[in-house]
Amino acid sequence: MSLRPVLAILMVSTTPVLADGHTDTGLTYGPRPAWLISQMDDGALKTRLQACLSQTPTRTDFSIGHRGAPLMFPEHTVESNIAAAQMGAGILECDVTFTKDHELVCRHAQNDLQTTTNILVSDLADTCTTPFTAANGDEDATAECRTSEITLEEYRTLTPKMDAADARAMTAEEYQGGVADYRTTLYSTGTTLLSHAESIELFRDLGAKFTPELKSAAVDMPHDGFTQEDYAQKMIDEYKAAGVPASDVWAQSFNLSDILYWIENEPEFGAQAVYLDDRYEAFDEDEGEIDPMDAATFKPTMQELADMGVNYIAPPLWMLVTVEDGEIVPSVYATEAKSAGLNLIAWSLERSGPLNDGGGWYYQSIADVTDNDGVTYELLDVLAQDVGVAGVFSDWPATVTYYANCMGL
């Protein structure tokens, strides 16, 4: 399947051509960066960002589209990624999982079809591993539908939607709702799902680089003879088949074994492989719950990761910062990682909704100073200037692009 007919419709006819032959969709910040700046407390950072309001947007690898631009577009769709590219994201993400016939597709999880597509109200509803069950008393409505239960051809028949579910739904149709009030369904109609190979074609045509994430399987591995190593290798092979240089790919995984596999078996790709650090969920039998602000409790340590050949590590935003004397500053975790020579990438800005009440999970380490949406740029400034991150994932990449352009990153 070629996406070029879709691109011809969605991309404006006057798009300029970049020096490398790729088309640029015509970049725009839209109104959000200026609005966020207006919400900031007065100070030097606000003044500097305001001085850039008339600047012309340019693409930057510091700005990474997290599943495209899912603040307003259904994630992992053609349209979501075009929007992210139009906001200047230099790197775009396809979360990679596999279908029943072991074809690779872009989904945040192998078992999220019930919240990200219309599968429950389609002819494929009977493939779901957990059929829709209505809410009952204190029990929420439930369902689980996996890409591993359908073929790529069947996957293509699904209609994407904003990632959400109505927990109190009594019918499968009602379950399609539940979109957070700070998101929108305005851009959900007519959106297009992507296979991994199609994402490569699309991102290249948009002039962007690539950061695929190999997602954990919801099924036992091996799956019908398809091993974890086969899975990790197939993802890389699709870039090689497309002629994409390893220097343009940052392959990600929460599974350290995947990172080490790429380092050993695909060293050019392994050099930029990104270990997604979720060790904040770890539990040590002797020490109890791991404190993410105490890097010494992590096993392996930052230096041990570096000694294994890991060059990039990506934790959530809050692990990289803390508060001292009312100011956002780098965390011990961040300083330990930098001391070991690890490159840091943060995830994910613009995912929390309004920040007037502490910001929720992504802002938990700085909740005491998170009381307005302008904190978005205060945090981003610390991440860029003090922590020294190499890039930031965002659900609305214009926010990061604006900052990077203004600061000359």
- pTM of the full predicted structure? 0.94
State residue 16's pLDDT score. Answer: 40
pLDDT tens per residue across span 20-47: 444 454 899 999 999 999 999 999 999 9
State residue 387's pLDDT score. Answer: 98
Q: How confident is the model at residue 49 (pLDDT cuts 50, 70, 90)?
A: very high
Domains annotated for the chain, with CATH where assigned, are: 4-94+194-407 (3.20.20.190), 111-191 (no CATH)
203 vs 1, more confident: 203
Nearest residue to 7 via CA among 197, 247, 142, 201: 201
Across the range 280-286, mean pLDDT stands at 61
State residue 297's pLDDT score. Answer: 67
pLDDT tens per residue across span 344-359: 999 999 999 999 999 9
